[in-house]
A and B are shown apart, each in its own frame.
Chain A
Amino acid sequence: DQQVKQNSPSLSVQEGRISILNCDYTNSMFDYFLWYKKYPAEGPTFLISISSIKDKNEDGRFTVFLNKSAKHLSLHIVPSQPGDSAVYFCAASVMRNQGGKLIFGQGTELSVKP
């Protein structure tokens, strides 16, 4: 079963506009969520994370929002830049009493056009 889902395989945005990437999860035990960015032929690069006790975390152009009741999180990139073009993965983990393995979504390919 897919515990973490990214239902949009791709997203195209104009440079300077906002990119919104979405992620849904089913396991209410998840208590930590992360976003990774991946370029071809490279490993995922950590972007931003959020604990389940928060509903928002911001780091520069990147903001992650968590809606626990809807089991939904989103990543906002403002303003979007061509260098942001990559595949974005959301991931979730249970840290309390487990090893913190990450469960990933399928990814959303973001294309930012100049």
Chain B
Amino acid sequence: DTGVSQDPRHKITKRGQNVTFRCDPISEHNRLYWYRQTLGQGPEFLTYFQNEAQLEKSRLLSDRFSAERPKGSFSTLEIQRTEQGDSAMYLCASSLRSGTGGREQYFGPGTRLTVT
């Protein structure tokens, strides 16, 4: 299977702990996006990378959140000092942006975070 993969699928953590999620995009895709989805809402944009450069961050991404894509392949999203409000589904998506193509983003299965 060559789709987007995310690890772990589920994470339960205690308030105040740090967590890190990983995303492996479709191999030839140059853009990688992180979104967050809470119950009853659509996904909300957090940040995106073109290759290894982080080009945009949402104001939803507080200073407790950091994302990296060190070699332009996989990406990690770290949340420090987790709060109960961080409980959500964290989704990763990738796309191949070239010319006028590659506008469709393909999503992974998500990581469900529960902060107790």
Interface residues of A (CB under 8 A from B): 4, 32, 34, 36, 41-46, 49, 89, 91, 93, 95, 98-107
- Residues of chain A lying within 8 A (CB to CB) of residue B4: 43
Interface residues of B (CB under 8 A from A): 4, 6, 31, 33, 35, 40-45, 48, 50, 55-56, 91, 93, 95, 97, 103-110, 112
B contact patch SS: strand
Chain A CB count within 10 A is highest, among B6, B93, B103, for B103
Q: Would A43 and B110 count as touching, CB distance under 8 A?
A: yes
Shortest 6 CB-CB distances between A and B: which pairs? A104-B42, A43-B107, A101-B45, A44-B107, A43-B109, A46-B104
Min Cβ gap B52→A in Å is 14
Q: Would A104 and B44 count as touching, CB distance under 8 A?
A: yes
CA distance A102 to B31 in the complex (A): 13
